[in-house]
A and B are shown apart, each in its own frame.
Chain A
Amino acid sequence: MIKARVTVTLKNGVLDPQGKAIEGALGALGFDGIGQVRQGKVFDLQLETADKARAEAELKAMCEKLLANTVIENYSISLA
């Protein structure tokens, strides 16, 4: 079994109102010196294969087809 983590983040230039709100809230809590906050998503998956190359190919397909909206989001895949 392979454990994988997929991280989905907004592309540069895409407005992130939630990140902005978090940035403001952190500032209000007294954390200063924050340049920027961008919010993303993390997916932890367990795959039943032991074949890393196959797992990576499948995860890429999952990202392209569902996990990320590639119009506005980038994704990265890491295997444990």
Chain B
Amino acid sequence: MKSAVVQLPGLNRDRDMIAALTKISGRAPVTVWQTETEIPDVDLIVIPGGFSYGDYLRCGAIAARMPVMQAIKAKAEQGVRVLGVCNGFQILVEAGLLPGALMRNASLKFVCREVKLEVVNAETDFTRAYAKGQVIRSPVAHHDGNYFADAETLKAVEGNGQVVFRYAEGTNPNGSINDIAGVMNGKGNVLGMMPHPENLIEVAHGGSDGRGIFASALDVIAA
């Protein structure tokens, strides 16, 4: 499976993402710059983390209006898998590809630590490598990861199985409503998550709990 990593000014987790995708799929992802209006033929598009446009206005707000996002929207509509991690998640909600919004952490502090994630939905393109209810470790590093959706949206998101990950065992680091750590769109091909699975994929990272997300999305699950 071929993948692409989007690059925008201020994103700084792209190198980690490129390394993770290369190691797990065996081929380097193509990189796509923000001004590009066409995306090569790939199976997975990843928007990595960082601080696009310095988090000015609202996190992800300006990036979400760049030309490349129109191309990503078109690909998403065609069914191409799209994964947004951290700032990538913020960009996807700002672009309207995912429901809800990400607000300042309830503690008002930047959090950089490890949390536990419950795999709420294991029947998705991104989580087939896990079992439902499985608890995995994942690093987080963000200032604005406090997921919010109005009551009606929340009901729909919960009811449709769009909540993919929840912070588990009391590790919610940001005050997210219903402990939501990752949500997908109704069609199931776009996932956004605040935690950084790309930073826990091999022994050198101290574990490989995050590997399954990429293995699922890239269809490289060992039988």
Q: Which residues of A approach B to under 8 Å, CB–CB?
A: 13-15, 17-18, 21, 65-67, 69, 71-72
Q: Which residues of B approach A to under 8 Å, CB–CB?
A: 57-58, 61-62, 65, 93-94, 100-101, 103-108, 146, 148-150, 175
- Name the contact of A71 in the complex, choosing from B57, B62, B100, B107 (C-beta under 8 A): B100
B100 engages A17 (CB within 8 Å) = no
> Across the interface, which residues of A come within 8 angstroms of B101, CB to CB?
69, 71-72
A14 engages B61 (CB within 8 Å) = no
- Name the contact of B105 in the complex, choosing from A14, A17, A72 (C-beta under 8 A): A17
B100 engages A14 (CB within 8 Å) = no
User: Whole-angstrom distance from the CB of B150 to the nearest CB of chain A?
Assistant: 7
> Across the interface, which residues of B come within 8 angstroms of A67, CB to CB?
57
A72 engages B103 (CB within 8 Å) = yes
A65 to B95, CA, bound (A): 10
B65 engages A14 (CB within 8 Å) = no
What are the 7 tightest A-B residue pairs by CB atom distance, in nearest-first order? A71-B101, A72-B101, A17-B106, A17-B104, A17-B108, A21-B108, A69-B58
> Across the interface, which residues of B come within 8 angstroms of A21, CB to CB?
108
A-B contact pairs, 15 of them (CB 8 A): A13-B150, A15-B103, A15-B148, A17-B103, A17-B107, A18-B104, A65-B65, A66-B61, A66-B62, A66-B65, A69-B101, A71-B93, A71-B101, A71-B150, A72-B101
> Across the interface, which residues of A come within 8 angstroms of B94, CB to CB?
69
A20 to B148, CA, bound (A): 17
A21 to B109, CA, bound (A): 12
A15 engages B108 (CB within 8 Å) = no
A14 to B103, CA, bound (A): 10
> Across the interface, which residues of B come within 8 angstroms of A66, CB to CB?
57, 61-62, 65
